[in-house]
Every structure is written in C-alpha cells, then in structure tokens.
Amino acid sequence: MSEIVGIDLGTTNSLIAVFRDGRPQLISNVHGDTLTPSVVGVLPSGEVIVGSPAKELRVTEPHRCAATFKRLMGQNQSLKLGGKSFIAPELSAMVLRSLKCDAETFLGETVSEAVITVPAYFNDHQRKATRLAGELAGLKVRRIVNEPTAAALAYGFHDRQARKKLLVIDLGGGTFDVTLMDVFEGALEIISTAGENFLGGEDFTDRLASAVLSSRNLQFEVMEQRNPLMVSRLREECEAAKRILSTHETAAIRIPDPRGILDSDSADFVISRSAFTEIVRPLLDRLRGPIDKALHDGRCARHEVDEVILAGGATRMPAIADLVRDDFGRIPCCSLNPDEVVALGAAVQAALIVDDVAVEDVVMTDVCPHTLGVAIVKEFGGHLEEGYFSPVIHRNTTIPVSREERYATVHPHQTSILLQVYQGEARRVKDNLLLGQLTVDGIPPGPPGQPIEVRFTYDLNGILEVEAYVPGGGRKFQAILNHQSSGLSNDEIREAVKRMQAIKFYPRDDLRNQRLVLFCERLVGEVGVDDRDRLEAALDLFEQAMSSGDRDRFSEARRLLIHLLLDLGIANPEPDVEEES
Ligand code: AMP
C-alpha cells in the first residue's frame, strides 16, 4: 500500500510530510528546503515553474507569476500569467504536483493519496476547491483537516500525557484561525473555532510597503497598477525587513526607483520594531475578534486557558507573542516550529487513517466551523417575507453530526418546496453562502403548515448530506452537497483536467540551475553598474553552457558564476547547488 502524505497547502509556503518510523517527518524539495513557496511562474518558453524559482521570477517579472492564490480558492475567478489563464485550484494543483514529486523521490514510490490541511474557517466552496486541486494533481484526498487541528495533533502526538485546555493561534500568510481544544491523555477534543479568511502575514507586509510609499506621498494601489515592478521589489524589501524586525530592533528598507531598480544609491527607509507595530496595529486589533469569538463559543474565560500554541510563520512577529502575554498573562508555546507544525500534524492524521500502531492511543474530534441551515419565509402581520436563515447545525457542533428539523408549507395547496441550503452566521441568507438546493415535491395539497422533515448529516471531511421527506409520504429526497466543486460545472472541471495534462513543467533536474539564473537576473537590477556588467557576462556564459549540453563547459561556467556571486558579497549564493565532483 502506498503511503498517505500530509500536506500543508499554505498561502505563502507549502510543506509535505510523511509518517515513518513511528513519527511525522518533513520531506525536502529539490532545492533541499522543506518550505516550498506557493508561487507559480510561466517562463517565456511556456514551461511552468513552481516554488523558489518562481518566487525569484516574481520579483523581476511579476506578470509571469501568481502567488497568494489560496485566497482565491472557491471563487470562480481566473488569473492571467505569462499570457495563460488559470483558476486558483489549478495553480494550487501545480504546487501539490511539485510536492508530490518531492515525496515520490524521497519515498521511491508513487504517491497517490493525501491529507490536505485548510484554514479552519474555510467555507464549503473553498474546501471543495482544495479537494479539486488535489484531484488535478493526481492525488486522492483522503481527508481535509483544519490547520489548527493539525497543529494540535502534532502537539498532542508529542505530549500525550498532557491534560489541558489549549488555544491554537494560527496566523499564516493569508488566513487567521483560532481553535480552542481540550487535550486529555492523547484524546483531542476541538471545542470551538473562529477566524478570518483574509488576514495573514502578507497583509502585514502590504501595510509596511504602503507606509513606505506614503512617506514618499505615493499610494500603494496606484503604484501597483502603474509600476508593478517597483512595488514587487519594494514588497520583497518589506518582507525581508518584517522578518528582520522579528529578531532585531531596526531594519532598513531600500526604496527602488520608479523603474523598479534597486542599487547602492537607493534611498533608505529605516524602521524600528515599535514603529512597525504601530503601522500594523489595525491588523493586530483584528486578531482579537476571532479570539474572543472562539473563547465565547467555547464558554471559556481567558484565565482558564492552560496553554497558547502558536502556528503559522507570521506568529514569529514578536507583536503576536506580546498580544498573548497581554491578553492571557502567559508566554505562548512554540516548542514545535510554527512553519512546520501543520504539515507534521497532517502526517499524524494520515497515520490515524491507516491505524498506525504509533498513534493507536491518539483520538481526535473536530467541529464544524460555520452554521448550516436552510432559507425560510417569515410571517410579519399576515405578510410573508422571504430570505431568512434557519440554522439546522450550529457552528462549533462536534462532527460527525446528524440533526433533523421540521419545516412547513406556507401557501395553501403548496405541493412542492425548493429547499435552499446555506452556510454562514447572518440572519438573512443573502449574506450567507449558498451551498446547493433540493426540490421536495409530492406534498399532499392542503392548508399552509403541511410538515416537511429535513435532516442534515455532516461528516469528518465537511461533506454535507441533506435529506428531506414528507412525514407519512414514504419518499425521501436527497442531495449530497459535495460534488459541485467550488461552483464549477462538470464541463469546467473536465476542461481544467485537460489543461492540467497539457501543461509542460520545467524539467525537475534543471530546476536548481533555473533558480540560480532567476536569482542572478534579480540581482542584475540591484547591483551597481560595474558589477552589473560582470554579472551579466557571467550569466550569459552560464546560460549558453546550460543549453550547450557540454558538461565540462557547464560546470566551469557555474563555478565562475558562483565565484562572482561570492565576490559580490552574496554569502550563500546557491546553498543547495552542490559542486559536482
Ligand atoms: P505560513 O503560511 O505559515 O508559511 O506563513 C507565512 C507567513 O509568515 C508569511 O506572511 C511570512 O511573511 C510570515 N513569516 C515567516 N517568517 C517570519 C518571520 N521570521 N517574521 C515575521 N513573519 C514571518
């Protein structure tokens, strides 16, 4: 039996892990890193690159690349890159395919099944889009797991004697989740979860870039349209500064000129950690809403939380630990690497699926993150008004769950009802998400008030089955709301499968050299004039040697290029490109 891999499909970075020798283990990619940037690029040749080479390309040719597309999952919207159009599940599928290749190289066998994590607060369409991405990548998705649940599983696996109430604060690149849970001797019970799908580390970087531009009387949105290269370079600078501020008190940001060129004359913007915290204060304040909601839903006071666990790369910002310290009076726990903990937990979940003996004492229960219900009509003083939401399964109910509610006809001699199923918390359905609908007919004609029973069954993967029947009528109407992937029709899915099969990926064996080329291309725009000429000359030689097929010539050209990079002060130009013997 082939192994089930655990995948953290992140907004900024993705990771893959496997459960082996009684523990979860991360798998490195072709560049030797466990973090694969969730970035896809299309080269002028039409070939697709994924991960760090695409991240390099994005700095110099943003129009050829797509990043943060996880934010578009579940929306029927396409992105254009390098003259081609892709939907978010296709782009995610390319990242998944790349991770799958890495796992196959590591394991020496075909990988065909996976557990994929999603933000706890992902809605049904976003979950289906994730499942579709897996299928497009040739992976059977055995389980979709909430990211904070996976983080808790990783902690629960490592600390099985614990008996405590945990709060997982998961701030990734694009999403924020809070999950409250009880851990009791290997049993993990999720109590409540809350979050925001559009709040993550990338927003912190954008705020900083926006503040830098404002200091020059420039507007981020306007510049992004007019000078995308300048903004992408500035964003890279701000991303680096944000990370530096996680360990240092100040950081300098070079501001590129309007053409996007960064050189030794570039103006500097020096920022202190406290100034950065003030700039991002509105984002920090937004974190408190979901924390309050999760605690409120879980009927838990702040002082009753025994431990706060941090997951997601953006929790490395000291402001997050400060917020926990101020609000909970305790230092958060990050004994597992916050970048890695979700993928490790996904591998533990994979072990649970195959009943690995190493996890036989681990048990987990999860909750449904959103309320599920139907649209109803309300009567106000003899007047009927449509569009109200009636919950059947409330948010934070432990899953799997099955609940039945009775509804009734509202018109005389009404013989059928269109049952519309929604997800969300709003009172009116127009503000919630339509998941699907089901026509129930065969209702015996009569006065208003003829009963209809509606049953919702929600399983561990977040798949909802809706059944309806007229009491005494004998006939059952049923809909399983799991096949309409992210609002795409079957034809659109077939098209996506075809497009995916037609994609030409850049040869895996050459990816490391391609990354070196793209890294140098980025540098060409950042070094002084003299160095630029030397770098371009060495790069030309390297590219010619790459296409010559002459192994000796290639080794020599690469040696010269790396030498030059060292000479230019690049301490670790290409750590994973090993010198060939
Ligand atoms: P994840 O999706 O968990 O990989 O989180 C990625 C986010 O974490 C990105 O927005 C990164 O900018 C952010 N991040 C990673 N490392 C750091 C760091 N040292 N300091 C601040 N933010 C970081």
Q: Is 162 in contact with 182 (CB distance < 8 Å)?
A: no
Q: How far apart are CA 507 and CA 244, in angstroms?
A: 34
Question: What is the 384 CA–ligand 1 centroid distance (Å)?
Answer: 51
Reported as a pLDDT band with limits 50, 70 and 90, residue 34 is: very high
Reported as a pLDDT band with limits 50, 70 and 90, residue 278 is: very high
Reported as a pLDDT band with limits 50, 70 and 90, residue 424 is: very high
* Of 87, 88, 39, nearest in space to 64 by CA: 39
Reported as a pLDDT band with limits 50, 70 and 90, residue 265 is: low
Average pLDDT over every residue of 417-443: 92
Question: What is the 448 CA–ligand 1 centroid distance (Å)?
Answer: 57
**Protein residues with CB under 6 Å of any ligand 1 atom:** 10-13, 172-173, 200-202, 205, 239, 242-243, 246, 312-314, 316-317, 339
Question: What is the 444 CA–ligand 1 centroid distance (Å)?
Answer: 59
pLDDT exceeds cutoff 50 at 581: no
Gyration radius of the chain over CA positions: 26
Supply the pLDDT for residue 580: 37
What's the pLDDT tens digit per position in 78-114?
A: 899 988 889 999 999 999 999 999 999 999 999 999 9
Average pLDDT over every residue of 237-241: 95
Identify the structural domains of the chain with CATH numbers, from first to last.
Answer: 4-199+284-367 (3.30.420.40), 201-281 (3.90.640.10), 372-488 (2.60.34.10), 509-567 (no CATH)
163-171 and 23-26 strand pairing: unpaired
What's the pLDDT tens digit per position in 539-549?
A: 999 988 887 77
Supply the pLDDT for residue 82: 84
Place of tokens 């101020």: 326
- Return the ligand 1 atom nearest residue 204 CA: 10
In order of 46, 94, 137, 191, 494, the CA distances from 497 in angstroms are: 18, 12, 9, 38, 5
Average pLDDT over every residue of 22-49: 94
pLDDT exceeds cutoff 60 at 402: yes
pLDDT exceeds cutoff 90 at 479: no
Give the range among 179-193, 204-218, 259-273, 332-346 with minimum mean pLDDT.
259-273
Atom 15, ligand 1: which residue's CA is nearest?
Answer: 313
What's the pLDDT tens digit per position in 126-174?
A: 998 999 999 999 999 999 999 999 998 998 888 777 789 999 999 999 9
Active-site position among 3, 102, 135, 147: 147
Active-site position among 55, 56, 70, 574: 70
pLDDT exceeds cutoff 50 at 330: yes
Residue 147 bears catalytic tag: yes
Average pLDDT over every residue of 473-484: 65
Residues 6+ apart with CB under 8 A from 193: 120, 121, 146, 148, 177, 178, 179, 180, 294, 367, 369, 396
The phi, psi pair for 463, rounded to 5°, reads: -95, 130
In order of 144, 177, 198, 372, 453, the CA distances from 422 in angstroms are: 20, 22, 21, 6, 17
By CB atoms closer than 10 A (0-12, 13-18, 19+), residue 365 is middle
Q: For a pocket test of ligand 1, which of 203, 247, 316 has the largest count of ligand atoms closer than 8 A to its C-beta?
A: 316
- Return the ligand 1 atom nearest residue 247 CA: 19
Question: What is the 317 CA–ligand 1 centroid distance (Å)?
Answer: 8
Which residues make beta-bridge pairs with 406?
453
- The DSSP-derived string for 232-260 is HHHHHHHHHHHHHTTTSSEEEEEEPPTT-
What's the pLDDT tens digit per position in 372-392?
A: 999 999 988 888 999 999 999
Could you count the other beta carbons within 10 Å of the beta carbon of residue 567? 11
Residue 70 bears catalytic tag: yes
Residue 8 bears catalytic tag: yes
| pLDDT averaged over every residue in the chain | 90
What's the pLDDT tens digit per position in 340-353?
A: 999 999 999 999 99
Please state the pTM of the whole predicted model: 0.87
Question: What is the 212 CA–ligand 1 centroid distance (Å)?
Answer: 20
Q: For a pocket test of ligand 1, which of 7, 8, 11 has the largest count of ligand atoms closer than 8 A to its C-beta?
A: 11
Question: What is the 173 CA–ligand 1 centroid distance (Å)?
Answer: 6
Atom 18, ligand 1: which residue's CA is nearest?
Answer: 243
Give the range among 452-456, 469-473, 538-542 with minimum mean pLDDT.
469-473
